[in-house]
Copies of this chain bind each other. A is one copy, B any other.
């Protein structure tokens, strides 16, 4: 299984990158992070310390994934996605040790941001430019451009808020 790691990508010597991955130009993978065979990571990304990126994960260009975040099979990130430290994804709603549950995907649309220590329940989509506050548990689809937070995360500011600030 051959990898396609761009020569300008930086893989820290203490990272563990399996064969069979795609990693784009200028992307950085930091210490004690595990990149599993089959996943695809775009260019200009930063994957922090102590993360894991599973095989069936796709990450677009210019994403930042901070320390201690774990992306399990079925996560799809667009471009410019920000995941704060210790953001956790899931892919089964009712996990049990002794059986496989129903597997569900999670979609992070372009330019969305997820605050530190948040948990994303599988089977949902976080919209373009959405901003999820730190420490949230996201259980439902989050529309584009809104700010949502809490346990469970609920919408606190309407869609125009951040789009205006960003002059879009």
From A147, which residue of chain B is reached at the shortest CB distance?
B94
Copies of this chain present: 3
- In the assembled complex, A37 has its CB within 8 A of some CB on chain B: no
Q: How many residues of A contact B (CB 8 A)?
A: 49
State A119–B52 Cα separation when bound (angstroms). 21
Which residues on A are within 8 Å of B, measured CB to CB?
14, 16, 31-32, 34, 49-50, 52, 62-64, 66-68, 70, 72, 80-82, 84-86, 88-90, 94-98, 111, 113, 115-119, 121, 131, 133-137, 150-151, 162, 165-166
Taking A50-B52, A63-B97, A95-B113 as known contacts, 10 extra A-B pairs with beta carbons closer than 8 A to each other, sorted by chain A number, are A31-B34, A62-B97, A67-B70, A68-B70, A70-B86, A94-B113, A97-B111, A135-B137, A150-B151, A151-B151
